[in-house]
């Protein structure tokens, strides 16, 4: 089972996955005997909430019901707000869904994926390293083979996040657990051990936080009059619309465009995304299919935005840190036939999220409450960029941007 971290509340560790959350105090403000009943009550409320509101419940029914059945017997004393949250985070892990998360955290909390992750694994292979991250600074490279995470074998690391126990898990759950384990916990020192010539090499990942960009949008005119605009994890901020408008005005006259969505792990909303797509539309266009749980499916449209329409070919760059609304914007450009998407598979955050609040603890939770798909029907979280190239290459050359520029250079502009 591997090494269990201190303070574990459940006999089986099955601890939580895309947006920034508010910190929670570790200090206990009421007695242990008072906090356990409220914790158990909200665990039961969460079990019921998932059954009725979670869009992907049927595909997780067996593991979720097994985890919920274990709750009364496996929750011990609860001595602080942080431990109270930990019980619920542990339960939520049974969904194996990075898009289900709490709106608060403590020092005991797991880091969310993709926001709190800095490298990505497929099996034991590193397939992406977030530029500027602790992993990039430590020298982790795409293509390297990982043999241990925080001193644990990959099998042991997966076991810390696969819950409940005694269940046969498939490749999707194991992939979730492995990358969740790689992201680690907020109070846990992190390291990754890779196989290198001369023997295993353990890299310290103590600098966990990727520096936040200072601007909502970065823009510049590249050679060949290619307008380059990067969204700096800002699709959830309404001020991004004005910043993007200003960037487009700065780049007016560009003969081709690169829209970089590789730093959008925190998601966002359509009020920001639709005007961005609208800059490139001369008429309304379908861009995403909405599939509610209890209503007919329907298609969202984006309208033209701004005083002029950006002309010329468009490349959209995506990667593992393209999350939620960033994924929706990428499939929107593709569905509207207004952009060619280059990069790797995205964060694969399934569905659209709704906010709820648990009654006894007051802890906010976000659950995917409806499905989303490409206008042609492919679920958003299963859609793959047509132009495959390494998107997140750590401190190495920007292969995706170079591929985009090479492709744009083939056009007579």
The number of domains in the chain is 3
Tell me, yes or no, whether 375 lies in a domain. no
CATH number at residue 27: 3.30.750
User: For 30-61, how does the pLDDT look when each residue is reduced to its tens digit (9 = 90+)?
Assistant: 444 579 999 999 999 999 999 999 999 999 99
Q: Are residues 180 and 259 in the same domain?
A: no
199 with 231, same domain: the answer is: no
Chosen domain end from 176, 209, 242: 209
Q: Are residues 362 and 227 in the same domain?
A: no
Residue 57 maps to a domain: yes
Among candidates 19, 40, 20, 22, which has minimal Cα distance to 83?
40
Q: Which of 209, 240, 258 is the last residue of a domain?
A: 209
* Residue-level pLDDT at 345: 96
Half-sphere exposure of 171 (CA within 13 A, CB side): 4
Examine the domain organization and report whether 250 and 131 are in the same domain. no
CATH code of the domain in which 155 resides: 2.30.42.10
Phi, psi of 63 (to 5 degrees): -70, -35
122 with 96, same domain? Answer: no
Q: What is the pLDDT of residues 187-219, one digit of tens each?
A: 889 999 999 999 999 999 987 566 677 799 999
First to last CA, the chain: 59
Separation CA 314–CA 326 (nearest Å): 16
pLDDT at 211: 66
Higher-scoring residue by pLDDT: 228, 3: 228
Tokens of 97: 């869904």
Interatomic CA distance for residues 147 and 154, integer angstroms:
6
Instruction: Indicate if 238 and 258 belong to the same structural domain.
Output: yes
| 3-class SS of residue 58 | helix
Reported as a single tens digit per residue, the pLDDT across 253-299 is 999 999 999 999 999 999 999 999 999 999 999 999 999 999 999 99
| Interval 311-347: pLDDT, tens | 999 999 999 999 999 999 999 999 999 999 999 999 9
Position 306 in a domain: yes
Average pLDDT of the segment spanning 218-233? 97
**Is residue 5 in some structural domain?**
no
As a residue count, the chain comes to 413
Looking at the structure, do residues 189 and 172 belong to the same domain, yes or no? yes
- Residue with structure tokens 């200090």? 27
Phi/psi for 43 (5° steps) reads: -65, -45
Residue 29 is assigned to a structural domain of this protein: yes
- pLDDT at residue 410 in the model: 85
Is residue 376 included in any domain, yes or no?
no
pLDDT band at 7 (very low <50, low <70, confident <90, very high): very low
**What integer best gives the mean pLDDT of the chain?**
90
- Residue that has been written with the tokens 């083979």 in this structure: 145
* End position of a domain, from candidates 154, 174, 209: 209
What DSSP state is assigned to residue 344? Answer: S
Residue 2 lies in a domain: no
Q: Residue 225: give its domain's CATH number.
A: 3.90.226.10
* Residue entry with tokens 């999707």: 172
Same domain, 203 and 235: no
| Residue 6 located in a structural domain | no
Q: How far is CA 194 from CA 130, 188, 200, 391, 396, in A?
A: 17, 19, 6, 21, 17
130 and 254 share a domain? no
Nearest C-alpha neighbor of 367 from the set 107, 169, 98: 98
Domain hosting residue 34, numbered range: 11-112+353-368
pLDDT value of position 411:
74
Tell me, yes or no, whether 73 and 147 share the same domain. Answer: no
Looking at the fold, whether 95 and 167 belong to one and the same domain comes out as no
Lowest-pLDDT range, 1-5, 18-22, 86-90, 142-146? 1-5
Do 404 and 258 sit in the same domain of this protein? Answer: yes
């Amino acid at each position: 089972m591997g090494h269990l971290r201190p303070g574990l509340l459940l006999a089986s560790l099955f601890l939580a996955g895309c947006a920034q959350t508010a910190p929670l105090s570790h200090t206990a403000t009421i007695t242990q005997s008072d906090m356990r009943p409220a914790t158990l009550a909200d665990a039961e409320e969460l079990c019921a909430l998932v059954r009725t509101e979670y869009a992907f419940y049927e595909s997780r029914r067996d593991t979720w019901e097994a985890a919920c059945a274990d709750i009364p017997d496996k929750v011990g004393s609860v001595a602080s707000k942080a431990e109270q949250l930990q019980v619920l985070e542990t339960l939520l892990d049974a969904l194996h869904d990075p898009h289900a998360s709490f709106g608060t955290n403590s020092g005991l909390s797991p880091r969310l994926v993709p926001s709190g992750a800095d490298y990505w694994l497929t099996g034991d292979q590193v397939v992406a390293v977030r530029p500027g991250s602790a992993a990039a600074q430590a020298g982790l490279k795409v293509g390297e083979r990982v043999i241990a995470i925080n001193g644990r074998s990959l099998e042991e690391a997966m076991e810390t996040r696969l819950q409940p126990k005694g269940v046969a898990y498939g490749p999707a759950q194991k992939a979730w657990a492995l990358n969740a384990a790689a992201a680690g916990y907020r109070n846990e020192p992190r390291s990754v051990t890779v196989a290198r010539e001369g023997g295993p090499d353990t890299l310290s990942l103590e600098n966990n936080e990727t520096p936040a960009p200072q601007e909502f949008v970065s823009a510049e005119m590249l050679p060949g009059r290619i307008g380059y605009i990067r969204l700096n994890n800002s699709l959830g901020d309404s001020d991004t619309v004005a910043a993007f408008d200003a960037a487009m005005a700065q780049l007016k006259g560009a003969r081709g465009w690169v829209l970089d969505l590789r730093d959008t792990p925190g998601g966002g909303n359509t009020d920001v995304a639709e005007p961005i797509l609208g800059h490139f539309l001369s008429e309304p266009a379908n861009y995403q299919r909405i599939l509610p749980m209890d209503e007919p499916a329907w298609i969202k449209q984006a309208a033209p935005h701004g005083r002029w329409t950006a002309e010329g070919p468009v490349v959209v760059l995506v990667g593992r840190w393209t999350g939620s609304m960033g994924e929706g914007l990428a499939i929107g450009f593709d569905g509207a036939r207004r952009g060619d998407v280059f990069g790797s598979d995205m964060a694969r955050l399934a569905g659209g999220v709704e906010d709820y609040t648990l009654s006894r603890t007051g802890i906010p939770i976000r659950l995917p409450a409806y499905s989303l798909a490409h206008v042609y029907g492919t679920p958003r979280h299963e859609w793959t960029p047509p132009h495959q190239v390494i998107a997140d290459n750590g401190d190495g050359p920007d292969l995706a941007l170079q591929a985009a520029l090479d492709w744009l250079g083939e056009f007579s502009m």
